Amino acid sequence: MIDSITIAFIGPGAMAEAMLSGILKNKLTKADRILISGPIPERNEELHAKYGVQPFSNNREAAARADVVVLSVKPQRLEKVLEEMNGCINPEALVLSIVAGASIAKIARNLGHDVIVRAMPNTPAQIGEGITVWTCSKTVTEKQLDFAKTILGAFGKEIFEEEEDFLDKATALSGTGPAYVYLFMEAMVDAGVHLGFSRRTAERLVIETLRGSVDYYDTGAEDTRHLARLRNQVTSPGGTSAEAIYYLEKAGFRTAISRAVWAAYQRSRELGQGIEGHTPD
């Protein structure tokens, strides 16, 4: 239990709600020690009514009271929010950022505080099934590392990386990953409808196929958890799977995925440098 700490969420969006829900479910702190601050009073009151957390309309006031300050605002709002809170955070407090593309150096510079954990969760965290990659500044203490690990583990699994560049890489792979999965599923469903299935049936077939495939992977022995080996198990020479995979490879399926992940990684780095969006090639 770390129920003596106060946690302030600056930006009470969907991911912040996933975090505070996991924190409360795992009894890491009490509801009245969770503070939320955002620009929309209705959202603050909604979370207060649902979880019993304490709403604030002033970011500085909420942050000043906290042992852990969670930055969960949109990337385009971050700089303004940091400048607004500059100088108000307790020197011994931990700042935990889940803002995509925001480097530790940028946060420290604009906030005037350098005890920082940077984390990249993904949307399955909203049901407690997320995967979060995180790192920290050199000023974070062992106790604060334990705090961060416990908090991040409350809504899924977590992986610590020493090098901060892996946060941009994780943004591209696991943070953005659900979008790739949903697009793949959408294409599969459309193909099923083209074959003559109803959309409802096609969706069920695709969803259960993905769910079962992941579960099958998870239940295998450690030395058999090789994706290529599992794929080969269902790819008979001259069969339907072999034919389908031939056409996927011919269409550049692997290359398209690799290029998409690389592009997302580059975009995450651009966001960290404050570069505006551009029209892709």
* CATH number, residue 249: 1.10.3730.10
Res 31: pLDDT: 95
Q: Which two tokens stand for residue 82?
A: 């940091």
- Considering the domain architecture, whether residues 131 and 238 belong to the same structural domain is answered as no
Residue 37 lies in a domain: yes
Are residues 131 and 263 located together in one domain of the fold? no
Number of domains in the chain: 2
Residue 128 domain flag = yes
Residues 83 and 158 in one domain: yes
pLDDT of the residue at 2: 60
Whole domain around residue 223: which residue ranges?
Answer: 177-272
18 and 152 inside one domain: yes
Q: Which of 162, 190, 205 is the last residue of a domain?
A: 162
Residue 49, domain CATH: 3.40.50.720
277 within some domain:
no
Residues 95 and 192 in one domain: no
> Kindly report the CA angle at 261 between 259 and 263, in degrees rounded to 5?
65
Q: pTM to 2 decimals?
A: 0.88
**Same domain for 137 and 22:** yes
pLDDT in tens, 223-268: 667 899 999 999 999 999 999 999 999 999 999 999 999 999 999 8
* 54-56 β-sheet, strand order: 54-56, 34-37, 7-10, 68-71, 94-97, 116-120, 130-136, 156-160
Answer with the one of 131, 162, 193 that is the final residue of a domain.
Answer: 162
pLDDT for position 101: 86
50 and 143 part of one domain: yes
Reported as a single tens digit per residue, the pLDDT across 172-213 is 999 999 999 999 999 999 999 999 999 999 999 999 999 999
Are 17 and 151 members of one domain?
Answer: yes
> Would 280 be classed as within a structural domain?
no
Q: How many other CB atoms sit within 10 Å of the CB of residue 43? A: 17
Has residue 253 been placed in a domain? yes
108 and 150 assigned to the same domain: yes
Convert the pLDDT of each residue in 94-115 to its tens digit: 999 999 889 999 999 999 999 9
Same domain, 153 and 199: no
Residues 146 and 187 reside in one and the same domain: no
More confident residue, 276 or 7: 7
**Cβ neighbours, 10 Å, residue 174:** 18
Residue 230 lies inside a defined structural domain of this protein = yes
The reply to whether 108 and 189 lie within a common domain is no
The tens digit of pLDDT for each residue in 30-55 reads 999 999 999 999 999 999 999 999 99
Tell me whether residue 169 is in a domain: no
* Domain edge (last residue) among 162, 190, 223: 162
Report which listed range, 115-119, 218-222, 277-281, is most confident.
115-119
Mapping DSSP onto H, E and C, the string for 252-275 reads CHHHHHHHHHHHHHHHHHHHHCCC
- 148: nearest Cα among 135, 161, 139: 135
Q: Is residue 231 part of a domain?
A: yes
